[in-house]
Amino acid sequence: MKAMISGITGQTGSYLAESLLRDGYEVHGIIRRSSSFNTARIDHIFDQIHLHYGDVTDGGRVSQLVAAIQPDEVFHMAAQSHVRISFDCPAHSVDSVVQGTLNMLEAVRHHAPGARLYQAGSSEMYGAVLETPQRETTAFNPASPYSCAKACSHYLTKNYREAFGLFACNGILFNHESPRRGETFVTRKITRAIARIKAGKQNELFLGNLDSKRDWGHARDYAEAIRLIVGHETPSDFVIATGETHSVREFVEHAFALVGLDWTDFVKFDPRLLRPTEVDLLLGDPSKANNVLGWRHTTTFEELVEDMVLSDLKAEGLNLEPYE
């Protein structure tokens, strides 16, 4: 079996590649050319995978790769994925998300119509939520250029499934974190700052809205959910979530407590980090994934925070055990 992953150098793409390799897949990944090394998350499996230079906004290159590789499964996860930055760079964000998805769908349609395709959706599509918890039937109400683009990609995938008979699925993944999370995302920004504070390299941590609530799971668990979505007998769309919500403040409190620090001594508010339109509450209902796919998340919120804190401490050479 051959799998092709766009976004293989990202957090979830790297966990997905590991999972596929364990099951004997031939794994191909698309990476963008950079003047600096950007493969840290997959360096440990570098000799086991096939990497191809390309960009999902380049339709010709995407088609060329799909035609050459002839993948059995396609996992499309590449995008400009930072919500706050999408307000600053809306054209790039929308182009990378929407055009990237359309290019992948067209490439599969014309060159590998028998392949199973997964498109990475986002809980941000629910935006200013119209229903809680959010499930597959909940109406989207996006509140950022990023989430508007993701909603478009969702409907494009659904349309290609219905119009052309492609095995095309959407995963509506709620926030998923891990030690491999990008350093500009709030959870990793918090845990990395804690490690740097303990190492004496940083004194303050600037954050925006501490009252935002999110449904946080571990990216490793969610990579397994993605595989179950693609492996299901019929193509469909699934919410992947834990069914629990926690505020940014709760994340901060637990993370600082793990190393015996009072978070109020270090965390400062910066209004520049607020979004023009805030999403205050996201809470997913994973019932369909539980019942149809048999998927369950295995990592608790507390275990997720601890995993991230300990990883960043280790990166600073601080092998500290968490405080009770």
pLDDT of residue 23: 98
The percentage of the chain sitting over the pLDDT mark of 90, rounded to a whole number, equals: 90
**Positions of CATH 3.90.25.10 in the chain:** 182-214+244-281+300-315
Q: How far is Cα 152 from Cα 158, in angstroms, rounded to an integer?
A: 10
- pTM for this model (two decimals): 0.94
The percentage of the chain sitting over the pLDDT mark of 70, rounded to a whole number, equals: 98
- Region 227-247: what's the mean pLDDT? 98
CA distances from 152 to 120, 141, 283 (A): 12, 12, 21
Tens-place pLDDT, residues 12-34? 999 999 999 999 999 999 999 88
Q: Are 28 and 50 in contact (CB under 8 A)?
A: yes
pLDDT above 80 (res 215):
yes
Q: Please indicate whether residue 222 is annotated as part of the active site.
A: no
Tens-place pLDDT, residues 31-69? 998 877 789 999 999 999 999 999 999 999 999 999 999
| Cβ density class 31-50: b for 16+ within 10 Å, e for less | beeeeeeebebbeebeeebe
User: DSSP strand E in the chain: where?
Assistant: 2-6, 26-31, 50-53, 73-76, 116-120, 167-173, 176-177, 205-207, 213-214, 217-218, 238-240, 246-247, 267-269
pLDDT of residue 104: 98
Tens-place pLDDT, residues 89-147? 999 999 999 999 999 999 999 999 999 999 999 999 999 999 999 999 999 999 999 99
Catalytic residue among 6, 81, 122, 212: 122
pLDDT above 70 (res 320):
no
What backbone torsions phi and psi does residue 6 show, to the nearest 5 degrees? Answer: -90, 135
- Region 268-293: what's the mean pLDDT? 92
In order, the DSSP letters of 151-164 are HHHHHHHHHHHHHH
Q: The domain 182-214+244-281+300-315 belongs to what CATH superfamily?
A: UDP-galactose 4-epimerase, domain 1 (3.90.25.10)
CA angle 223, 227, 229 (to 5 degrees): 115
Q: What is the enclosing helix (H) or strand (E) of 85? A: helix 83-88
pLDDT of residue 55: 95
pLDDT of residue 323: 52
pLDDT of residue 291: 98
pLDDT above 80 (res 324):
no
Give percent helix, percent strand, percent coil of the chain, each to the nearest 5.
45, 15, 40
Q: Please indicate whether residue 14 is annotated as part of the active site.
A: no
Tokens for 312? 């960043």
H helices of 132-240, in order, are 145-164, 186-198, 219-231
pLDDT above 90 (res 319):
no
- β-pair partners for 172: 239
What backbone torsions phi and psi does residue 206 show, to the nearest 5 degrees? Answer: -95, 125
Q: Among candidates 99, 147, 149, 93, which has minimal Cα distance to 125?
A: 147
**Positions of CATH 3.40.50.720 in the chain:** 2-176+215-240
Catalytic residue among 18, 73, 124, 224: 124
Q: Please indicate whether residue 131 is annotated as part of the active site.
A: no
Provide CATH code, domain 2-176+215-240: 3.40.50.720
Catalytic residue among 118, 126, 146, 222: 146
Tens-place pLDDT, residues 136-188? 999 999 999 999 999 999 999 999 999 999 999 999 999 999 999 999 899 99
pLDDT of residue 173: 97
